[in-house]
Amino acid sequence: DASRTGIWGVSLGGYYAPRAAAYEKRIKACVALSGPFQRSADFTGRPQMNVEASRVRSKSANLEEAGKVAVRFSLAGIAKNITCPIYIVAGTKDRLTPHAQAEKLAGAVSGPCVLSVIEGGNHVVNNLGYRYRDQTADWMAAQL
Q: Identify the pLDDT of residue 63.
A: 87
**Which whole-number Å values give the CA distances from 47 to 51, 55, 73, 96, 129, in the listed order?**
6, 13, 20, 8, 22
**Cβ-contact 23, 17 below 8 angstroms:** no
Q: Identify the pLDDT of residue 47.
A: 84
CA distance 76 to 93: 24
Does residue 101 or residue 70 have the better pLDDT?
101
What confidence category does residue 127 fall into, taking pLDDT thresholds of 50, 70 and 90? very high
CATH class given for the domain over 2-38+77-143: alpha beta
pLDDT averaged over the chain?
95
pLDDT at 133 over 80: yes
* pLDDT tens-digit map of 3-16: 999 999 999 999 99
* pLDDT tens-digit map of 31-69: 999 999 998 777 888 888 888 998 999 999 998 999 898
| Ranges of each domain in the chain | 2-38+77-143, 39-72
Left if phi > 0, otherwise alpha if psi is -120 to 50, otherwise beta: which for 94?
beta
